[in-house]
Structure 1
Amino acid sequence: MLRLADVSKRYGPGHWVLDRVDMQIPPAQSVAVLGTNGSGKSTLLRILAGVTRPTRGRVSGAPPVIGYVPDRFPAFDAMGSLAYLVHIGRMRGLRTAEARRRGQQLLERLQLVGGIRTPIRALSKGNAQKVALSQAIMVLPQLLILDEPWSGLDANAHDVLAEILDEVVRVGGSVVFTDHRESISGAYSTLAYRIEEGRVLAVERVAPRPRGVPMAHVVLADPGAECPPPSRIDWREVAGVAGVRSIDEAIHVQVHPAACDGLLMTALRGGWSVAEVRRDREAGRLGGGDSWAH
Structure 2
Amino acid sequence: MRLEAVGRRYGARGPWVLRGVDLDVPGGQVLRVEGANGSGKSTVLRILAGIDRPTTGRVSGRPRTAYVPERFPPALPFDAHGYLVHLGRVHGLGGRTAARRAERWLECFGIAGYARTPLAQLSKGTCQKVAVAQALVAEPELLVLDEAWTGLDEDARAVLDDAVRARSAAGGTVVFVDHDPRRLAADTTAAHRVQDARLVPVPPDAAGGPRVVIEATGGGVPPAGLAYEPAAPGTLQVTVPAAESDAVLRRLLAAAPPWHIRSVRPAQPPTEPA
TM-score range, shorter chain: 0.7 to 0.9
Asked if structure 2 preserves the Cα contact closer than 8 Å seen for 1:27 and 1:174, the reply is yes
CA RMSD, Structure 1 to Structure 2 (Å)? 2.7
2: CA distance, partners of 1:107 / 1:98: 14
The answer on whether the counterparts of 2:30 and 2:188 sit within 8 Å (CA) in structure 1 is: yes
Q: 2:50 maps to what in 1? A: 50
Task: Describe the shift of the 1:259–1:51 C-alpha distance in structure 2 as closer, same or farther (beyond 3 A).
Answer: same
The one-letter amino acid paired with 2:124 is: K
Partners of 2:121 and 2:165 lie apart in 1 by 31
Quote the residue 1:28 is aligned against. 28
- The corresponding residue for 1:258 is 242
| 2:40 maps to 1:40 | yes
In 2, the alpha carbon distance for the partners of 1:110 and 1:10 equals 37
Count residues in correspondence: 219
Kept after mapping to 1: 8 A contact 2:182/2:244: no
Deviations 1:61-112 (A, max 9, x none): 111x101101111113441110111111222222222211110111101112
CA drift of 1:124 comes to 2.0
Aligned to 1:72: 71
Given that residues 32 and 193 in structure 1 are in contact (C-alpha distance below 8 angstroms), is that contact kept between their aligned partners in structure 2?
yes
TM-score (norm 2): 0.73
CA distance in 1, matches of 2:71, 2:113: 19
Q: Is the 8 A contact 2:3 2:58 kept in 1?
A: yes
Opposite residue 10 of structure 1, the aligned amino acid is R
Contact 2:185 2:244 in 1 (8 A): no
Q: What's the offset of the Cα at 1:260?
A: 9.0
Structure 2: which 5+ runs fail to align? Answer: 206-210, 215-221, 225-239, 254-274
Q: 1:6 matched to which residue of 2?
A: 5
Q: Which amino acid aligns with 1:59?
A: V
Higher mean C-alpha displacement, 104-113 vs 144-153: 104-113
Distance 2:75 2:95 in 1: 20
Structure-1-length-normalised TM-score: 0.68
Query: Residues 244-277 of structure 1: CA distance to partner in whole angstroms, max 9, x if unpaired?
Result: xxxxxxxxxxxx993399xxxxxxxxxxxxxxxx
Question: Residue 115 of structure 2 aligns to which amino acid in structure 1?
Answer: I
> Which SS does the other structure have where 1:111 is aligned?
coil
Displacement of 1:187: 4.0
